[in-house]
Amino acid sequence: MKVLVIHGPNMNLLGSFSKNRLTLDKLNRSIRKLARTKDFECKIFQTHDEARVITLLQRNRNKVDGIIINLGPWHMSSSIIKDTLSIIKTPYLIVEQSDQSKEYIENTIFNKKHIINSSDIEQSYIKSLNQLVG
């Protein structure tokens, strides 16, 4: 199984707003460790650019079996990401840190059944990956 992980805006600054000083590098190491343990491959990207997300989704639509994406402030206004996910039909989950993204989650244009959130962002990623890969 192959999973595409996309970290959205400001995730490169995760250590600045994470309660437990989790950095993006530490989060990516945790994701890769789980991938080795569960025997799946993962591609990881971080971007602030919605157009880049669309390109990543389209280019990887036939190369991955699942998608994990962190939307942050894109929740309320990103109909293009929502449309692309609908068109490519690859299973996906959206991860968030519930206390950091509460407003975004409440006002999201995405189906809330796709949103995995926890007060610990790392646990949101772990939970979503476990749900996708079984």
Render pLDDT for 30-70 as a digit per residue (tens, 0 to 9). Answer: 999 999 999 999 999 999 999 999 999 999 999 999 999 99
State the Cα–Cα distance between residues 118 and 127, nearest whole angstrom: 9
Can you give the residue ranges of every domain in the chain?
2-133
Are 48 and 32 in contact by the 8 Å Cβ rule? The answer is no
pLDDT at 81: 96
116 bridge partner residues: 95
C-alpha torsion angle, residues 47, 108, 91, 58 (rounded to 10)? -40
Q: Would the pLDDT of 83 be above 90?
A: yes
Q: Record the pTM.
A: 0.93
Q: Would the pLDDT of 125 be above 80?
A: yes
Select from 3.40.30.10, 3.30.70.1380, 1.10.220.10, 3.40.50.9100 the CATH code of 2-133. Answer: 3.40.50.9100
pLDDT at 89: 96
